[in-house]
Amino acid sequence: MSKVVEARIKVHVTPGAPSNEVAGFFFGVLKVKIKATPEKGKANEALVAYLAKTLGVRRNEVSITHGAASRNKIVAICGLGVEEVMKRLGIGAVK
């Protein structure tokens, strides 16, 4: 029986930004700027699509597990560990 790997990352989203980008990793929270507005779930959809594309995984492997109506969220990425997520995002070692 194999163990399923899933990274859970705290994310702070800034919707309505000029472009989609990772703004950094501060105090255990990934800061992400999203171009979409926070109306009718558009920013959440854009966040999931952006993270999936940036991390090289399918959209259905990225989900918002907590905070769908908040700027502060917990995002789960199936198939990757936290270290691999940070590596793919170009962020240094997480301790």
Residue-level pLDDT at 1: 57
pLDDT value at position 91?
A: 85
> How far apart (Å, rounded) are the C-alpha atoms in residues 38 and 49?
15
**What per-residue confidence (pLDDT) applies to 94?**
55
| pTM of the full structure | 0.91
In whole angstroms, what is the distance from residue 95 CA to residue 48 CA? 24
**pLDDT the model gives residue 2:** 60
The tens place of each residue's pLDDT in the chain, 95 residues long, gives: 566 789 999 999 999 999 999 999 999 999 999 999 999 999 999 999 999 999 999 999 999 999 999 999 999 999 999 999 999 998 875 55
What is the C-alpha end-to-end distance of the chain, expressed in Å? 28
Q: Which domains does the chain have, with CATH numbers?
A: 6-74 (3.30.1200.10)
